[in-house]
Structure 1
Amino acid sequence: MRIIVVGKEGQVARALAERARAHGAQAVLVGRPKLDLADPSGIEDALIETGGDVIVNAAAYTAVDQAESDPELAEAINGIGAGVVAGAATAMNVPVIHLSTDYVFDGTADRPYREDDPVSPLGAYGASKLLGEEAVAAEAENHVILRTAWVYSPFGKNFVKTMLRLAADREELGVVADQYGSPTSALDIADGIFAVGRNLLEKPEDRSLRGLFHMTGTGSASWAEFATEIFTLSARFGGPSAKVRSIATADYPTPAKRPANSRLDCSKLKQAHGVVLPPWRSSLEPCVKRLIEEARKEVAR
């Protein structure tokens, strides 16, 4: 299985590249300047030239707060560009797997969100990702949209790396305790994507495998609980640690509003694809250990 990955620097794109061999697959990453989601004119040619069995759109405008002041660019990349990628998949007669987000919901539900729950983005980022979902569904019948949340990994910028960096200089950190979600390893997402992609190729007529699904780590936590676990693991491996002081969302104002409830019900994905991501704590441990070891090696150089 040869997967064309749209995006080169993002967490999931890099995770797909790292995990490909374990799945007996090949992941070919395509990004700027060859392919730029903000410039639709060259997208289809770049994908056709690359060639593959499945297209995975792992690229996105992810600056949630910045999107509030630059909604047009977020819409161009996350909405229009995503639709063009899906259209190219249709032209190539291959399935497309598109990554979306919990931010399409307003976070007011008192339970994990299901795929058929009403969407109501709180800000420009969520609105742009919702536009992308609609564009992908319109442009490619053979599609899977995977909503995920709270993504972390050894790559790029994410909450785990931020907490470890801040703990190196501070004894105590205030962390929001009234927002809840499911921390999700990008490496686990990659494993799930390979499984979904193989299913799509092996069962091209099975409609239950297509459509919209939720995919997050098993279990949930607040950001403060997530941070506490990060520091517990870091201390175990000899890394930086800090005391977590629980604060309210109102105590940490940001340009974009965040959903208070980002929990997603992933039972549909299990039923259709047989994919269940591991408990978030079990996936967090090797990530923190790896980051501590990499930081130690960097200091020793």
Structure 2
Amino acid sequence: MRAYQVTTFDSAPEMKIADLPYVSVNEIRLRIEACGLNFADLLMMEGTYQDTPPVPFTLGMEVAGTIDEVGPEVTGFKPGDRVAVFGGSGGLAEYGCYPADRAVRLPDGMSAVDAAAFQVAYGTSHVALDYRARLQPGETLLVLGAAGGVGLTAVEIGKLMGATVIACARGADKLAVAKAAGADHLIDSDTDDLREAVLALGGADVVYDPVGGDLFKAAFRACKPEARVIPIGFASGDVPQIKSNHLLVKNITVIGLYWGGYLSFKPEVITNSMNQLFQWYSAGDLKPHVSHTFPLDRAGEGLEALRSRKSTGKVVITI
């Protein structure tokens, strides 16, 4: 089978011919139809992500497709079932083997592209806003990087949860995407003073930040008393340092979130979240925004679209 692999951290990934993976007792083998790209894939290419596998490995964290074979101890799934899986890696290939307990059956009518764009982005935002920040109806949610893969889902979910959503993104085109997703107020990070603009709207109860850097600092200063700030990632490349005495002035809480980490110590958090998200999808309340799709032999172009921030929402590779 074909697989897009990282062989060394100082060279670009390459398309390789690999053996068809062998199914172990508790695994499913998936004929992969689509793979969603994530910022973490870029970090894995450099060996800087916290869960980077040893080289050589195949990129691609989240996939959707049709089960081809099941291990002898697998129950609840059979060949022919359509599922999505967060595997952590291995998705940019024609087949992959995954633990059966990570598979989620797709709702009727959900395409493989939608499913591959769904888990990480929507799962991250829902667990962050619901389980971690306890976002309440009527509160004000500030979303940084609001047209990106996770940011856009935070806008959608924040509106579904009854919040007033302030979307911050770069340029009119990206802000238009955030507005279409339900944002109530728009801030252009290229031209607007983020702190002043948010304070003029009354301040933020919850800040959702996948960007870091100067935007984090400005958003922090625009918080209301008892605000909750959720660092999701650091797409700017700048990990901000927080002065603990500043937290005291407004009784601000900073809440860490590593969505994938729950798989190892509290998987029911992700399972419960996915059940809610698929219900919203089936009801028509959520629609993944995919700005780019590429075939497997152009996976490098997909990763570059992500790196250069030319994409909005998700980039998906079709297999």
More strand by share: 2
Q: TM-score range by the shorter chain?
A: under 0.3
TM-score, normalised on structure 1? Answer: 0.25
TM-score, normalised on structure 2? Answer: 0.24
Structure with the greater relative contact order (CA < 8 A, sep ≥ 6): 1 or 2?
1
More helix by share: 1
